[in-house]
Amino acid sequence: MKRGVLEMCILSIISEGEIYPSDILDRLKKIGPEILVKEGTLYPLLTRLKNAGMLQYTWRESTQGPPRKYYSMTEEGKLFLNGLFQTWNQLVLAVNNTIKI
């Protein structure tokens, strides 16, 4: 379950526009310790999402070293993220109804 939530959070961040992976990590750190992600978790997830057609990347020159990969969403990724949001909202509603919040 946590993997799916992490995937949804990462895709949601990328859906806002092209982004460099370390900026994704920074954004997740600001959310809080509940979604603490390490590079060793993020990079394989980005690769898997890219190979599944959810993400694409472009290379950009950097003033601080080698070129960098910047990730963005594909149309397929946007549709997938919308499906994740719907599933998440249904799950939250079901849990809240079960525990009477």
Residue 3 pLDDT greater than 80, yes or no: no
Name the pTM for this structure: 0.87
pLDDT digits (tens, 9 = 90+) for 30-78: 988 777 788 898 999 999 999 999 999 999 998 888 999 999 999 999 9
- β-strand partners of 1: none
C-alpha dihedral (75, 17, 27, 95), degrees to nearest 10: -30
Least confident of 2-6, 12-16, 60-64: 2-6
Question: If you classify domain 2-99 with CATH, what class do you get?
Answer: mainly alpha
Provide, rounded to the nearest whole percent, the portion of the chain with pLDDT above 90.
73
d(CA 101, CA 93): 10
Q: Structural domain boundaries of the chain?
A: 2-99
